[in-house]
Amino acid sequence: MESWSIHQYENPYLDAEFSSQGECLEITSQGESFEIQASSLDGCDILRLINPRDECWQLLLSGKKESELGDLVEQMDELGIIREENQSLDHLQTFRRRVDSLVFEALEILNQHDEEIDEKILESIWIDLNNVRKGEFSSNEVVNEHNFYLAILKGLFCSWKYSNSFVLEVVSRILEEVLNKDVGNHTLEIGFVIKDQIKEIQECVTSFVWCVCRSQGKDSERHFFREDILIDCTDTGLNLGITSEKLARDCLDAVSSSPYMKALYQPEHQAVLARATYIQEYFINERFVEIIAPAIAKKLPLPLKALFRRYYAEEIGHEAFERQTCITLGVNCTDLDSMIPLPLTQAFCDVFTWLANEEVLAYFLSIVITEGLPGEKNIINSVLASSSIFPDDVNRASLEHEDLNDELNHQMISRLVLSQISYVSEAEQERAIKLFLLVLELNCRAWDELYRHHVEEKRPLCPMSMRAFFTTEN
């Protein structure tokens, strides 16, 4: 853990009163008195610390002030008499302004698409949202929803309820405005504000607006929805896993000639696609801890608990491999940290997290989506490694990641976990498979979205605002 210092304060000041006692200085703060030996210190300097604007603080914070005063400030900080200037109301106001402008931006985009969006659908989204908020939502509604984007929206609401319930309030406000709902006071209740929290909200609202706008498009029916899954007996978790792997292979074969996969082999698209791809890989890997944490937090018997703890220990930090490839490809780190991921990449991580939280069996099946199906090679890595337009070692870090994944048998984690499940009812098998196929489709659609966004529409590699996903001037 990093060490604590006065640099962690934005505007520190000394919250105390002083009186001189001969060689000593008596400091009184919040009813408590302390004596300090300050003979060699300029008493004036200490008195100046009462004012957070005093130049003395700048000198101290920049290390230009004599260390004796610095040591004294450190001691006073330990005693809790250095305080942060209270600007919390300003911070609240800034946060409210940012949320307002995010809502405004979302409304502007939705209004631009209002001819494509059926009000009845918006109404049904609003009802789902409220049911999730009230705890009256059944996840069967996700399982059986035929419209891909509406199914994802429902899954996102379920996810945000636990991961960031404030997003549900923001999204609700957007829908109320669009639907002209008279709900009285629109002011969002805010209990506390976390620094930079707005970015997380912005990412979620972007995927919300994206799914709403796409929900009425011609390609909104679920591709991998199966009514004909033949389940006629109860089974073991392992058999269920093997069945879902087979279904996944069938589905993936059907989309193996997707525009993304075709473009991947074309050198003229590889510069853009490689960067966009590894950015996406980085974001998904970076979310590993949030995704696995709800599953680990369950009361699991020892063998499963041990498996998950081991998986956690082996996988944590692997985003560094993908980040390194991004850097090698020339992606700017500051851009990477401040950009908004593609809406479906964001949705993939959020829906996956929801499964780990509330649909654990489907989560166990879905681990193969990020770790790879047994025996399968990473085609993207190998195509880009042999590309004529890059140096040989352009994705060395990602190839090392793949080798490590093989070494650690991560493609078999899903089976290892499922081998601990001795019985699954017919209904539960069907639910888990349908959810698994939804997440698999989400993953495939995220790649297609990446192709459309960066290759077809030539949009910026590192979008910094929601608008960047919707503007038409590109």
Closer residue to Fe ion, CB minimum distance, 243 or 370 = 370
Q: In angstroms, what is the minimal distance from the CB of 186 to Fe ion?
A: 44
Q: In angstroms, what is the minimal distance from the CB of 401 to Fe ion?
A: 6
Q: In angstroms, what is the minimal distance from the CB of 178 to Fe ion?
A: 41
Rounded Cα distance, 424 and 439, in Å = 20
Of 318, 323, 431, 445, which one interacts with Fe ion (CB under 5 A)? 318
Interface positions, 354-383, toward Fe ion (CB under 5 A): 371
Span near Fe ion by CB under 5 A; candidates 202-210, 252-260, 326-334, 410-418: 410-418
Q: Letter for the amino acid at 390?
A: F
Q: Quote the tokens at residue 396.
A: 């060395």
How many residues contact Fe ion, by CB under 5 A? 5
Span near Fe ion by CB under 5 A; candidates 205-213, 331-339, 404-412, 427-435: 404-412
Interface positions, 231-290, toward Fe ion (CB under 5 A): none
Closer residue to Fe ion, CB minimum distance, 328 or 405 = 405
Closer residue to Fe ion, CB minimum distance, 203 or 371 = 371
Q: In angstroms, what is the minimal distance from the CB of 407 to Fe ion?
A: 10
Q: In angstroms, what is the minimal distance from the CB of 385 to Fe ion?
A: 17
Q: Letter for the amino acid at 249?
A: R
Of 410, 415, 445, 454, which one interacts with Fe ion (CB under 5 A)? 410
Of 378, 405, 411, 414, which one interacts with Fe ion (CB under 5 A)? 405
Rounded Cα distance, 265 and 268, in Å = 9
Q: Computed over its alpha carbons, how large is the radius of gyration of the chain?
A: 27
Span near Fe ion by CB under 5 A; candidates 68-76, 148-156, 359-367, 397-405: 397-405
Q: In angstroms, what is the minimal distance from the CB of 291 to Fe ion?
A: 12
Q: In angstroms, what is the minimal distance from the CB of 381 to Fe ion?
A: 12
Rounded Cα distance, 279 and 460, in Å = 12
Closer residue to Fe ion, CB minimum distance, 147 or 414 = 414
Span near Fe ion by CB under 5 A; candidates 56-64, 98-106, 377-385, 399-407: 399-407
Q: In angstroms, what is the minimal distance from the CB of 175 to Fe ion?
A: 38
Q: In angstroms, what is the minimal distance from the CB of 277 to Fe ion?
A: 16
Span near Fe ion by CB under 5 A; candidates 91-99, 147-155, 260-268, 318-326: 318-326
Closer residue to Fe ion, CB minimum distance, 77 or 371 = 371
Q: In angstroms, what is the minimal distance from the CB of 403 to Fe ion?
A: 11
Q: Quote the tokens at residue 250.
A: 């069938």
Closer residue to Fe ion, CB minimum distance, 154 or 318 = 318
Q: In angstroms, what is the minimal distance from the CB of 397 to Fe ion?
A: 12
Closer residue to Fe ion, CB minimum distance, 328 or 370 = 370
The torsion of the CA quartet 50, 51, 57, 59, rounded to 10 degrees, works out to: -110
Closer residue to Fe ion, CB minimum distance, 157 or 282 = 282
Residues near 279 by Cβ (< 8 Å), separated by ≥ 6?
326, 331, 336, 339, 341, 461, 462
Closer residue to Fe ion, CB minimum distance, 292 or 466 = 292
Q: In angstroms, what is the minimal distance from the CB of 317 to Fe ion?
A: 9
Closer residue to Fe ion, CB minimum distance, 396 or 459 = 396
Question: Is residue 139 involved in binding Fe ion (CB under 5 A)?
Answer: no
Closer residue to Fe ion, CB minimum distance, 346 or 405 = 405
Closer residue to Fe ion, CB minimum distance, 269 or 318 = 318
Span near Fe ion by CB under 5 A; candidates 49-57, 107-115, 190-198, 315-323: 315-323
Q: Return the HEC string of the chain.
A: CCCCCHHHCCCEEECCEEEEECCEEEEEECCEEEEEECCCCCHHHHHHCCCCCCHHHHHHHCCCCCHHHHHHHHHHHHCCCEEECCCHHHHHHHHHHHHHHHHHHHHHHHHHCCCCCCHHHHHHHHHHHHHHHHCCCCCHHHHCCCEHHHHHHHHHHHHHHHHCHHHHHHHHHHHHHHCCCCCCCCCCCCCCCCCCHHHHHHHHHHHHHHHHHHCCCCCCECCCCCCCCCCCCCECHHHHHHHHHHHHHHHHHHCCCCHHHHHHCCHHHHHHHHHHHHHHHHHHHHCHHHHHHHHHCCCCCHHHHHHHHHHHHHHCCCHHHHHHHHHHCCCCHHHHHHCCCCHHHHHHHHHHHHHHHHCHHHHHHHHHHHHCCCCCCCHHHHHHHCCCCCCCCCCHHHHHHHHHHHHCCHHHHHHHHHCCCCCECHHHHHHHHHHHHHHHHHHHHHHHHHHHHHHHCCCCCCCCCHHHHCCCCC
In the complex, which residues of this chain contact Fe ion (CB under 5 A)? 315, 318, 371, 405, 410
